[in-house]
């Protein structure tokens, strides 16, 4: 299964239809603490600045060793090496 199809399946199972930033917290792409820090910062920023954008957490997206990995949903675009700053920019774009 391709990475886009897997992401669509994961989000469909969650019944997510709104704009979302999906962050991988799998074990292989980076330290879990690093991806969790990005998740926490992104959630806080989205709640404060863009309440219509959700931040979701998923397991491995199979783009390993280039993490933290984030994807936009529903128009699926993957980004590698996502920092807190880059996550904020992705959230800004999702709320347009």
Write the pLDDT tens digit of every residue in 12-71.
766 666 889 999 887 777 878 888 999 999 999 999 999 999 999 888 777 777 888 899
Residue extents of the structural domains in the chain: 3-94
Is residue 31 helix, strand or coil? coil
Mean pLDDT in residue range 90-95:
93
**Per-residue confidence (pLDDT) for residue 13, from 0 to 100:** 66
**Per-residue confidence (pLDDT) for residue 14, from 0 to 100:** 66
**Per-residue confidence (pLDDT) for residue 40, from 0 to 100:** 96
Q: In terms of pLDDT, which residue wins out, 63 or 80?
A: 80
**Per-residue confidence (pLDDT) for residue 38, from 0 to 100:** 94
CA distance 32 to 3: 20
61, 1 contact by CB (below 8 A): no
Q: Which CATH architecture has domain 3-94?
A: 3-Layer(aba) Sandwich (3.40)
Range with the lowest mean pLDDT among 39-43, 62-66, 78-82, 88-92? 62-66
């Amino acid at each position: 299964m391709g990475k886009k199809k897997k992401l669509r399946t994961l989000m469909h199972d969650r019944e997510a239809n709104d704009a979302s930033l999906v962050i991988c917290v799998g074990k292989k792409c980076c330290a879990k603490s690093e991806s969790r820090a990005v998740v926490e910062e992104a959630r806080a920023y989205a709640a404060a600045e863009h309440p219509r954008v959700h931040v979701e957490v998923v397991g491995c997206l199979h783009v390993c060793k280039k993490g933290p990995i984030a994807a936009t949903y529903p128009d699926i675009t993957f980004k590698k090496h996502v920092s807190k700053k880059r996550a904020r920019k992705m959230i800004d774009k999702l709320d347009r």
